[in-house]
Amino acid sequence: MKVAAVLTSYVMEGLCRLPGVATLDWCDRAAAALSRISHPSCVMVSLGRVDAKGFVVNLELAGAAASDPHHRISVEESSGRTFIGGQGVAPACASPADLDRVRESVLAGEWIGWNIGQLNEGLWFVATASQQGLLGTRGPSPLVKRWEWLGASEILLGAISIPGTQPGRMLIVEIASTDPAMRESARQQAVLAAILPLLRHRVANAFGPDSEDKHRWLTPREELVLWHLVAGKKVPQIAAELHRSVYTVHDHVKSLHRKLNASNRGQLVSRALGHLGPLSIDAEMIPMVETRNLLADEPPAKGKPIKSAR
């Protein structure tokens, strides 16, 4: 019980660091945080609409990550002491190509390989592949095929409904581990069940209620500028560090305010850290804002040609 509690808090710490806004690698980051549940393991996280039989109606985003041996929690059976570290533990064998294969294995219109059932808003599902009879002698399911390269001894499955404008929107989690002890332990299932509500909250804040609303997702450059703003830097300083013109960074800042429905720097920071609720106003209806008022930086002079380093 003590180890499960410590492990839960450890995983939650990683989830709390997830961006409060939608990014192209959001599910990759979520998978990396969940990989702390078991080592060695690989994790797949996907967001989309899934029916009761487990068929993907619409896929918004999928991500994958392998566990880090330096971010491992375990227990010394002889003393009962809990420790965090990676001493004597071999890293999970997952190449970038392996992770890409996992991301691409979840496709709209196809079965994910396991049965979720009907999940109402706020409900969650946790089971293992063994409990669903997917690791037996029957023909391999898409789930087993997805992880056969890893030689997983057990696959932990999780799902939770996400608020949205269309029914069936879910976050899907698969944790494939090569640790034989995972099949005999209920600890990982308890941890996943405990953290799914927090993960649901983070997803709802970052992606909002509309599965088709991808125009609010941040580009890598916009996200980079956003985190510089969160650090308290002004536009000229950001431009110098990124080797971009001030005018280009101003364009990114204006785009951030439109996409994140923010009228000042404080709201941008709150949105980035996940302290504000989901976006509910159409970004196209948000008026253009003056960077001068928002950031107290000098805007480009009127009539002066803008040089872009993009």
Per-residue pLDDT of the chain (310 residues; tens, 9 = 90+): 677 888 888 899 999 889 989 999 999 999 999 999 988 999 999 999 998 889 999 999 999 999 876 555 444 433 343 333 433 333 446 889 999 999 999 999 999 999 887 776 668 899 999 988 888 655 678 999 999 999 889 999 999 999 877 888 999 999 999 988 888 778 899 999 999 999 999 999 899 887 666 788 999 999 999 999 999 999 999 999 999 999 999 999 999 998 888 888 888 888 888 877 666 544 343 333 333 343 444 444 444 443 434 3
Do domains 2-207 and 218-295 share one topology? The answer is no
The Cα–Cα gap between 256 and 258 comes to 5
Domain boundaries, the chain: 2-207, 218-295
- At the top level of CATH, the class of 218-295 is mainly alpha
**CATH code of the domain occupying 2-207:** 3.30.450.80
Structure tokens at 43: 């994790």
3-state secondary structure the chain: CHHHHHHHHHHHHHHCCCCCCCECCHHHHHHHHHHHHCCCEEEEEEEEEECCCCEEEEEEEEEEEECCCCCCEEEECCCCEEEECCCCCCCCCCCHHHHHHHHHCCCCCCECCCCCCCCCCCCEEEEECCCCCCCCCCCCCHHHHHHCCCCCCEEEEEEEECCCCCCCEEEEEEEEECCCHHHHCCHHHHHHHHHHHHHHHHHHHHHCCCCCCHHHCECHHHHHHHHHHHCCCCHHHHHHHHCCCHHHHHHHHHHHHHHHCCCCHHHHHHHHCCCCCCCCCCHHHCCCCCHHHHHCCCCCCCCCCCCCCC
* Per-residue pLDDT at 307: 40
* Per-residue pLDDT at 210: 77
